[in-house]
Each structure stands twice: as C-alpha cells, then as structure tokens.
C-alpha cells in the first residue's frame, strides 16, 4: 500500500485515509471491546507510519515530506481527525447495540417477552414469545391496535372456545387477557411439525390409511367442540397441524378464530351473505350466507380428507359463482378417480361428508369417526416414523422467520419452527 501511496502524494495522500477508513469500518460494526478497538487503531497508525518510513528509502519525495513541517502537520492532523471520527463511530456503534438490546427487553406484553413474529393476518399477529413466569415458549396471538367491536368480540370468542376444550388434538390455550395499555393477547402452546396443506403440497397425496388416521384425530377434537356447542367454521388442511408424537402421527386442530357457539344467541359479526371460512372447504349453506351448524365442519373435514387423498380440492379450478354453483348443486368426482388407492368404501365416506344438503351428511363427528374406523385401515407408529424420515420436514407456517436472541435460560429451539410444549402424550383416537 505504501508504494501506491508514494506515487499519490505520500504523507498527504488521500488514498491513505480512504483505505484506512474503509478497513477500520468492519471492527466498528463487530461491536468489539473498547480496548480491542483502540489497539486496532494504534496498530493501523504504527504500521502505516512504518511503511511510509520504509518507502522513503526508495521514494525521495516521501523522504522530503518527513522534513517538511506542513506535510508532516497535515499527516498527523489527518490521523487525529481519523482518530476522533473513529472514537465517535465506536461510541455510536456501541450505543446502537445497547438500544437493540433494550428494545428486545422492552418488547414485552403482560409477562411475555416477544422474540420473533411468526405471522400476521388481517386482525392479528402471532409471535414466538417467552413466558417468564413458567419459563416456556408460547405462541402469542396479539390483536391489532384499535380493533372494531366485532373483531375484539371474535378474538375473545376464540379464547373462550379454546379454554372450554381439553382434547389432546385441540391446541391448548395457556393464557388470555389484555396488557396494561389494552392490547389483547392469547397465549397458546407451541407445536413442532407441519400443517397438512404444506405437507401435501410438498410431498404429494398421502396413503389412505394415514389420511384416515389423521381425520379420526380431527373428529376427536371437533367432536368435543361440537358437544360444547362450538363450531369451528374453518376446517381446512392448513388448520390441521401434524407432529410426531410418542405414538406416531399426532394431529392438532388450530385456529378457532372464527368459531362460534351454537347454544347461545349472539350478534352477527359478519354481513349477511358473507361467507365465513376458506371457499373450497366451506359448506354450501355457508357459501350462500346462512349460518352453519356442526355439519358445516363435517363438510370441511370431508373436503380436507379429499385433499389429503388426492392432492387436489373437490372442485379444483373453480372460483366465485362457479364454485358456489358446483358446491351447492353437484357432487365432486370421487377421490378414487384421482387416487386409485382409495377404496369404494372410503369414496362413499368422503362423498357423504361433501353432500350439498346438511341432512345428507353424517349426523355428527362420532358417526363419521365410526365410519372411518369401520374401514379397518391400520396406520402404525412405524408407518408414521417411516414417512417422517422420508419426507416430512418440521416446517413453519408461512412467515415464520426473523429469529432473535433468546434468554439464556430458555430451552433451545430451531429458528422458525413450532416448538414442542409440555402437553401430555397424545392418545390414539
């Protein structure tokens, strides 16, 4: 570096200071100790000065500058300016780092330390959070600021619905309330695994035995909800979460955000004619704007089972009015037309769930579970373990990113994953 500097002005060369300033930027960003940063700066000054002194042996112009007071003063003045700038940058960098740490500590909500945003919807955000009181990970759903009365009521209803349920196949609510400044939150258990929509999109249709095994677990969760007078209203593959439990595949029903009680009158929270749920998995009566009962969830689970078996939705490709017309006035192709491994008996079960008239579906989840059990399709722990090893990857729902520093006492967890909680071992349906 000294040789080019000799040809560009020697002690007064701007090349010197541009190059040194650039080289010293990296240690500043690294947030090193002050003593280390001062030592680095001193080493740069001593090394560069020694190189220029050595260069003066072969460059007469540089040798003359060492005896020229204005040149020497400029050289030392530039280094002094660089030193002051370096100190200012060092302090600013340390201050920014301290503010970041304070921000992480300040991002608390009613005893929960917010770690990373997992996802966001129209009404709320879901965060990975650390529960200080119980020293555990939770999924913290936070309602957006200044919600409308209808949105706030729907959020509270989700908490009330989940707290009334105890099935091992229903996501557990650990806490519910509002912060001192009025922000509503819902703390739920953390799960590790993948939702069924992503599983099928990435791995293709699943064997009938596995699909039936998972559907029966969903029957267990939804059946309890229905007996408690709660209708989920948004049963679909992305709201069924798969994990590997002690007894094999374990399914958890999540997101009761638009659930409603059928045993108590309450004001309508959506406009008449508005559909509640996801179109391809909504019962015809809901698409037409009518309130649906538990048989609407039967339709959603039937459409989900169709998707698990075939990798496609019952009326794939249709949207809008064409979808409404097909769902309310026709029968989809049997799953076996797209997945030959599906038996006629399983075809009949799925198509009965997808009947346009609620009265033509199974009367309840218990009846559907009994029909699935009668198929006698065994799915064992070893079968599940083989599938998990071959293709199932623990995977986040969309938007699960931004890993942040966690408290040292936290149990370790892979960034971006739903982390297993302390729920009891799952029971077979």
- Listed in order, strand segments (DSSP E) in 136-198 are 136-143, 173-178, 184-188, 194-195
Task: Please give the Cα distance from 134 to 128 (Å, whole number).
Answer: 15
Going by the DSSP 8-state scheme, the letter that residue 170 receives in this structure is: B
Beta-bridge partner residues of 186:
141, 176
Contact 371, 216 (CB under 8 A): no
Q: Which helix (H) or strand (E) holds 8?
A: none
Give the orientation angle of helix 34-55 with respect to helix 69-106, to 10 degrees: 160
What is the sign, positive or negative, of the torsion defined by CA atoms of 89, 92, 94, 100? negative
Task: Please give the Cα distance from 33 to 286 (Å, whole number).
Answer: 63
CB crowding 313-341: b at 16 or more within 10 Å, else e: bbbeebeeeebbebbeeeebbbbbebbee
- Burial (CB count <10 Å: 0-12, 13-18, 19+), residue 62: buried
Contact 188, 171 (CB under 8 A): yes
Structure tokens at 392: 């199932």
- DSSP, residue by residue, 64-89: HHTT-HHHHHHHHHHHHHHHHHHHHH
What is the sign, positive or negative, of the torsion defined by CA atoms of 90, 96, 98, 101? negative
Is residue 291 annotated as a catalytic residue, yes or no? no
Q: Of the residues 137, 175, 195, 234, which is catalytic?
A: 234
- Decide: helix, strand or coil at residue 109: strand
Query: Which region, left, alpha or beta, applies to residue 422 given φ > 0 means left and ψ of -120 to 50 means alpha?
Result: alpha
Structure tokens at 361: 């579906």
What is the sign, positive or negative, of the torsion defined by CA atoms of 232, 238, 244, 247? positive
Contact 258, 156 (CB under 8 A): no
- DSSP, residue by residue, 38-55: HHHHHHHHHHHHHHHHHH
Task: Please give the Cα distance from 87 to 93 (Å, whole number).
Answer: 10
Active site residues: 234
């Amino acid at each position: 570096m000294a040789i080019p500097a000799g040809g560009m002005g020697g002690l007064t060369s701007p090349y010197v200071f541009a190059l040194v300033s650039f080289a010293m930027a990296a240690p500043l960003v690294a947030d090193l100790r002050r003593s280390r940063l001062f030592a680095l700066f001193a080493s740069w000054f001593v090394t560069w000065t020694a190189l220029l002194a050595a260069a003066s042996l072969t460059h007469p112009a540089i040798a003359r500058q060492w005896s020229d007071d204005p040149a020497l003063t400029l050289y030392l003045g530039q280094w002094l300016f660089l030193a002051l700038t370096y100190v200012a940058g060092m302090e600013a960098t340390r201050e920014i780092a301290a503010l970041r740490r304070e921000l992480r500590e300040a991002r608390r909500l009613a005893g929960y330390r917010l770690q990373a945003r997992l996802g966001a919807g129209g009404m709320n955000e879901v965060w990975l959070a650390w529960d200080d009181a119980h020293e555990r990970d939770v999924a913290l759903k936070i309602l957006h600021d200044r919600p409308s009365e209808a949105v706030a009521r729907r959020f509270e209803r989700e908490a009330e619905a989940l707290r009334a349920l105890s099935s091992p196949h229903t996501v557990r609510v650990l806490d519910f309330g509002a912060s001192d400044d009025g922000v509503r939150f819902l703390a739920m258990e953390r799960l590790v695994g993948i939702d069924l929509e992503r599983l099928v999109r990435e791995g293709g249709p699943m064997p009938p035995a596995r699909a039936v095994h998972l559907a029966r677990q969903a029957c267990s969760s939804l059946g309890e909800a229905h007996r408690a007078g709660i209708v989920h209203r948004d049963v679909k593959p992305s709201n069924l979460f798969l994990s590997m439990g002690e007894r094999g595949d374990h399914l958890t029903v999540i997101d009761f955000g638009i659930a409603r009680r059928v045993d108590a009158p309450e004001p309508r929270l959506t406009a008449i004619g508005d559909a509640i749920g996801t179109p391809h998995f909504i019962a015809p009566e809901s698409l037409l704007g009518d309130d649906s009962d538990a048989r609407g969830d039967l339709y959603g689970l039937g459409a989900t089972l169709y998707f698990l078996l075939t990798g496609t939705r019952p009326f794939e490709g249709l949207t809008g009015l064409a979808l409404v017309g097909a769902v309310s006035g026709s029968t989809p192709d049997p799953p076996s037309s797209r997945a030959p491994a599906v038996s006629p008996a399983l075809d009949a079960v799925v198509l009965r769930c997808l009947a346009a008239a609620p009265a033509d579906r199974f009367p309840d989840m218990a009846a559907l579970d009994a029909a699935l059990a009668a198929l006698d399709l065994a799915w064992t722990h070893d079968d599940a373990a083989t599938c998990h090893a071959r293709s199932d990857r623990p995977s986040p729902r969309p938007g699960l990113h931004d890993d942040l520093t966690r408290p040292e006492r936290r149990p370790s967890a892979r960034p971006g994953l739903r982390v297993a909680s302390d729920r009891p071992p799952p029971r077979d349906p």
